[in-house]
Chain A
Amino acid sequence: MSQLLTVSPSPHAHSQESIPNLMFGVVYAMIPAALVSFFFFGLGAVLVLAASIAFCLFFEWAITKYMLGQEPRLWDGSALLTGALLAFNVPTNLPLWILAVGALVAVGVGKMSFGGLGQNLFNPALVGRVFMLIAFPVQMTSWPLPVESRLQLVDVSTGPTVLSVLKEGVKNGESMDAIMAQVPSHMQLFYGHMGGSMGEIAGAALLLGLIYMLYKRIITWHTPVAVMASTFVFTGIFWLADPSQYADPLFHLLTGGLLLGAIFMATDYVTSPMHPRGMLVYGVGIGLITTAIRLFGAYPEGISFAILIMNAFVPIINKYIKPKRYGEKPKPAAA
């Protein structure tokens, strides 16, 4: 026999699934929301998305090559995804130098300082976003108002997000009906007619992304559904108790990046639990903390903080919430 044979342990087959496949799958799922954003925020959205991706790719490349002394691995798509997610979490009129700082924090501190892909405890894009929110609160909270199919790059008409209106209104003792009159209708919120971060505005588009990711089996339903359902239930309890003081649960679901967080941020592989049961606990935790921050905290939104706080609990969730083992509890014999 002239041929050299490979001898290796089983299995000898592989699913051909790969990291770039999964990462690009998430990026594809973000396309509908990006298109809605391009439509309402115009070139600003395009610019922020392109710049954010470019910054993240650059920092990943530079840190891997010059600080870690390794071969850069931009092909795996993870820096691209971080860049896109970071862009989704900032206003489209954000000065680019602030975005560059955010990208450095996201990739440099949020990911590479832990050892790179797969090693980080916290969602890198959210680390970047929260850093910018605290360091540059003014720029991070002045949002361009949506104008259908506009083309100019800079627009002077900026305003608060829907949830800020709510928070201010409640603080000033306005009635819920009066507040609701100032904000877009639920239907407008659903298709994206509101001020906000680039990727958070269109519930419909985000849900389309979720369906795509579920169909492609990139993620499972557990985390997003747990986050959405628990937020809905917790805010719903307060709304039922006093509808004049608290906004309805559907309103909470459609605003403040809740869907963006539930679908794209909380489901990050690296920083979410390893088992469906753990994912449910993690998702409910996010919903609970988000509700607490929104109704009683200083910030109008809160899902970013909620996800980061629950990220810290993931190791302990993985330690104590185990999958059901085969043969753990034998069923009583019955023919």
Chain B
Amino acid sequence: MLFKTFKIGGVHPPENKLTAHLPIQRLDLPKEVRIPVSQHIGVPAKVVVAKRDKVKVGQIIAKSGGFVSANIHSSVSGTVTKIEESMDSSGYKRMAVTIKVEGDEWLEEIDRTDALVPECALSPQEIIDKVAAAGVVGLGGATFPAHVKLNVPKGMKAEVLLLNGVECEPYLTADHRLMLEKGEEVMVGIRILMKALGVARAVIGIEANKPDAIAAMEALCKKGKGISVQALKVKYPQGGEKQLIQAVTGREVPSGGLPVAVGAVVHNVGTAFAVYEAVQKNKPLVERVVTLTGKSVAQPGNFWVRVGTPIENILAACGGLPEGTGKIISGGPMMGKALPNADVPVAKGTSGVLLLDSPESKRRPMQMCIRCSKCVSVCPMGLEPYLLMQQSQHKRYADARDQDVMDCIECGSCSFTCPSDRPLLDYIRLAKGFVRKLPKS
């Protein structure tokens, strides 16, 4: 069987999918949740509850703050105890609502049964409104508000919906398990997304290291028309939006443009599931699948976790923090964020928590660049990381901009590959920050 893949660059980090065979378990409710109001790309949501307010599960606690923003709902029932800034997975102190958990009382209109609701009679605009109201964001990690992507800009037309079931990050298995366990719901979610976008075709991209998920989704696709599965060769960063579009359709999103410019809209399979729950079950995005993993973890696993649950609580379910842990990462090893402590809450974009032991956590010292050109050959955007790093070091930000530094998707393939252990991506990020401040030319 020939697998498709993206054309430029890419690397093969060890897959380490330790939890691929473990069913998703429901995590016990924590004593307290801390729900950040900024869990998505864009404007933070505005808090609409006050201290000592009683809230139910699914009740809105912060309203979308602009066009690119998302509603935030309470993931537990209880009393609001604090509304203050605290550290989240970004490493910054940002506004968050703390709720003391009392029982598990849900809003009445939410359908909490497992019964499949296959039919959706809503109009595209009603679907988009419902998705927006439920605070659904991209669950692959980028957390871009989902309803914004469903509003195709005027003059453009979506032709195909791509579902991202690639999960190219090593270790993570949340999407993999979701496709296996909630495949039918995901399929309904895909149909709803297709209806909202007005497209007749959808393709689910899944990497070849998940043959069971490919088989399961293919079987479900046969029941209807328009949706197909595309098996993809295992290569990082295939789950990148632009890489997935190239892999499946052969088209390239123009530099600085939107995917819909080439007729494609990409949503994660997890997002499709969240859309299903939002539209068919009236259930806002208050919980998600989180993989807790790492070679030293006693019992790694996949969990249904309420948003705002401290990572410590998942750790406790996995046998506690292992001796000699050097790094706690929110996300995978390639693009995840290192956390300062395990107190940080799970957010909508937390697809996994990875623990690395001390030796794995440390970078080796940087050596001279030997100009081996490996960073150039692995860059999936066709950039020259060695050159961008030099320009960044010399503060030549305008030159870096002219060498397309803003096209960098920060996948980390360059730093991963560099035999001299040079922090290429660190310097490229720095340059991107400065380029944003440059006067437009």
Contact = CB atoms under 8 A, between A and B. Distances in A.
Bind each other: yes
B372 A7 contact: no
B374 interface: yes
Nearest to B263: A333
B252 A326 contact: yes
B407 A325 contact: yes
A6 B326 contact: yes
Contacts of B333: 10-13
Interface in B151-167: 159-160
A6 B362 CA distance: 7
A335 B262 CA distance: 10
A83 B334 CA distance: 38
A118 B370 contact: yes
Contacts of B383: 323, 325
23 contacts: A5-B327, A5-B338, A7-B340, A8-B327, A9-B425, A10-B337, A10-B412, A11-B416, A12-B354, A13-B333, A14-B363, A18-B421, A22-B372, A270-B370, A272-B371, A274-B386, A323-B379, A323-B382, A326-B8, A327-B242, A331-B262, A335-B160, A335-B201
Interface in A7-42: 7-15, 17-19, 21-22
A65 interface: no
Contacts of A9: 338, 423, 425-426, 429
B251 A119 contact: no
Contacts of B337: 10
A248 interface: no
B416 A118 contact: no
Nearest to B374: A17
B209 interface: no
Contacts of A318: 387
A313 B391 CA distance: 21
A326 B261 contact: no
A324 interface: yes
A12 B251 contact: no
B291 to A, nearest CB: 15
B369 interface: yes
Which 10 pairs show the lowest CB-CB distances between chains A and B? A11-B412, A13-B333, A118-B368, A325-B382, A6-B361, A17-B419, A327-B255, A274-B373, A269-B372, A7-B338
Contact of B334 (A11, A17, A220): A11
B329 A12 contact: yes
A13 B170 contact: yes
B20 interface: no
Contact of A326 (B339, B367, B380): B380
A331 B356 contact: no
B99 interface: no
B13 interface: yes
B88 interface: no
Given A3-B326, A326-B253, 9 more contacts: A5-B341, A8-B327, A10-B412, A11-B412, A17-B418, A18-B421, A117-B367, A272-B371, A335-B160
Nearest to B413: A11
Contacts, number: 185
B380 A269 contact: no
Nearest to B334: A11
A330 interface: yes
B11 A15 contact: yes
A1 interface: yes
Nearest to A119: B368
B299 to A, nearest CB: 19
Interface of B: 8, 11, 13-14, 91, 159-160, 170, 201, 242, 246, 250-255, 257, 261-263, 321, 324-329, 331, 333-342, 354, 356, 358, 360-364, 367-374, 376-377, 379-384, 386-387, 404, 407, 410, 412-413, 415-421, 423, 425-426, 429
Nearest to A218: B372
Given A9-B426, A328-B255, A15 B13 contact: yes
Q: How large is the interface on A (under 10, 10 to 19, 20 to 34, 35 or more residues)?
A: 35 or more
B339 A5 contact: yes
A330 B384 contact: no
Interface of A: 1, 3, 5-15, 17-19, 21-22, 76, 78, 116-119, 220, 269-276, 318, 322-331, 333, 335
Contacts of B407: 325-327
A74 to B, nearest CB: 14
Contacts of A220: 377
B371 A274 contact: yes
Nearest to A314: B371
A116 B416 CA distance: 24
B338 A12 contact: yes
A25 to B, nearest CB: 10
A333 B251 contact: yes
B363 to A, nearest CB: 7
B429 A15 contact: no
Nearest to A324: B382
Contact of A5 (B253, B328, B420): B328
Contacts of B387: 274, 318
A319 to B, nearest CB: 10
Contacts of A10: 331, 333-338, 410, 412, 425
Contacts of B382: 323-326, 328
A116 to B, nearest CB: 7
B384 A14 contact: no
Given A10-B335, A21-B419, A325-B381, A330 B341 contact: no
A8 B419 contact: no
Interface centre among A13, A15, A17 (most CB of B within 10 A): A13
A220 to B, nearest CB: 7
A14 B421 contact: yes
A331 B415 CA distance: 30
B376 to A, nearest CB: 5
Contact of A118 (B242, B369, B377, B384): B369
Contacts of B380: 326
Nearest to B415: A11
Interface centre among A3, A78, A322 (most CB of B within 10 A): A3
A270 B373 CA distance: 9
B66 to A, nearest CB: 27
A270 B372 CA distance: 7
Interface centre among A15, A273, A276 (most CB of B within 10 A): A15
Contact of B340 (A5, A271, A327): A5
A1 B326 CA distance: 12
B368 A3 contact: no
A213 to B, nearest CB: 12
A273 B122 CA distance: 58
A78 B419 CA distance: 13
Contacts of B11: 15
Interface centre among A7, A22, A117, A326 (most CB of B within 10 A): A326
B338 A325 contact: no
Contact of B371 (A118, A327, A330): A118
A223 to B, nearest CB: 11
